[in-house]
Amino acid sequence: MRRYFVGGNWKCNNTIAQTQSLINTVINKLVFDANKVEVAVAPIFLHVPWVQANIQKNVQVAVQNSSLTKMGAYTGEISVEHVKDLGIPWVILGHSERRQYYGESNEIVGKKTRLALDHQLSVMACVGEKLAERESGNTTQVIQAQLEAIKKELTTEQWSKVVVAYEPVWAIGTGKTASPEQAQDVHAFIRGWLRSQLGTQVEQATRIIYGGSVTEKNAADLIKQQDLDGFLVGGAALKPGFADIVAAANKAQ
Ligand code: PEP
């Protein structure tokens, strides 16, 4: 049985006061069975030390990116060594906003994923199609290419520290959630790909989570889908409704 996984991606939001308030009023009040659900939240880098020092023990801390390069003369970057040094267990890689605004290709995402895993971090690896790609019937080809670029870099064993986040780009921050059936179709495709490319053990162990306008209103229906193991939540992760999303995973069968 896979543990459900709920990630909160706070993106480039929140002053320190807002982050403190979110931790104190929402995150530290979350009640869930940690044997059943794993929860991680990703503040901006600058807020990480405060969050680490003040967050409840059942909620893990993630970062939203890490550098393609290691520690060294790379002005402005934060390397996987720095992330590890701070004791942060998770990194989100391949988010569509990184792909869209910062030119991260499939190849870059694959290499970043490898670097993070080589430094014992766990990775939420994001994949997902744009609206035009879905409308032209290319959803699975796009996702397959994104997954193949990651697979090219990893050993089979390294997949044990990867959570695949299916995040259709047209659903992120738009209020247009994929229907449970649309999400399930793609999750089933990803699970089939994991089985055919990496074997039954990886397929059965790997969490595939959904992201794209998840809210407290749609989480309970989405989580009923057979191949959906949780969520990556953006906008709603900044609000009290995040507690209901975690509760939906905690209640799921
Ligand atoms: C995200 O940023 O990963 C995301 C899914 O955002 P939202 O929930 O706001 O669509």
- At 53-65, the pLDDT tens digits run 999 999 999 999 9
Q: Mean per-residue pLDDT for 216-237?
A: 98
Q: pLDDT tens, 50-103?
A: 999 999 999 999 999 999 999 999 999 999 999 999 999 999 999 999 999 999
Confidence of residue 217 (pLDDT cuts 50, 70, 90): very high
Q: pLDDT tens, 130-165?
A: 999 999 999 999 999 999 999 999 999 999 999 999
Contacts of 53 (CB under 8 A, 6+ apart): none
What is the Cα–Cα distance from 97 to 198, expressed in whole angstroms? 28
For residue 172, which atom of ligand 1 is closest to its CA? 10
What is the Cα–Cα distance from 48 to 63, expressed in whole angstroms? 8
- Of the chain, the percentage scoring pLDDT greater than 90 comes to 99
What is the Cα–Cα distance from 69 to 175, expressed in whole angstroms? 35
Q: In angstroms, what is the span from residue 172 Cα to ligand 1's centroid?
A: 5
Q: What local confidence, expressed as pLDDT, does residue 113 receive?
A: 98
Q: What local confidence, expressed as pLDDT, does residue 167 receive?
A: 98
- Confirm or reject: Cβ of 232 under 6 Å from ligand 1: yes
Q: In angstroms, what is the span from residue 3 Cα to ligand 1's centroid?
A: 21
Q: What local confidence, expressed as pLDDT, does residue 117 receive?
A: 98
Q: What local confidence, expressed as pLDDT, does residue 91 receive?
A: 98
What is the Cα–Cα distance from 112 to 26, expressed in whole angstroms? 31
- Residue whose Cα lies nearest atom 4 of ligand 1: it is 234
Q: What local confidence, expressed as pLDDT, does residue 1 receive?
A: 81
- Confirm or reject: Cβ of 128 under 6 Å from ligand 1: no
- Which residue type sits at 197? Q
Record the pTM. Answer: 0.98
Q: Exposure of 64 by Cβ count < 10 A (0-12 exposed, 13-18 middle, 19+ buried)?
A: buried
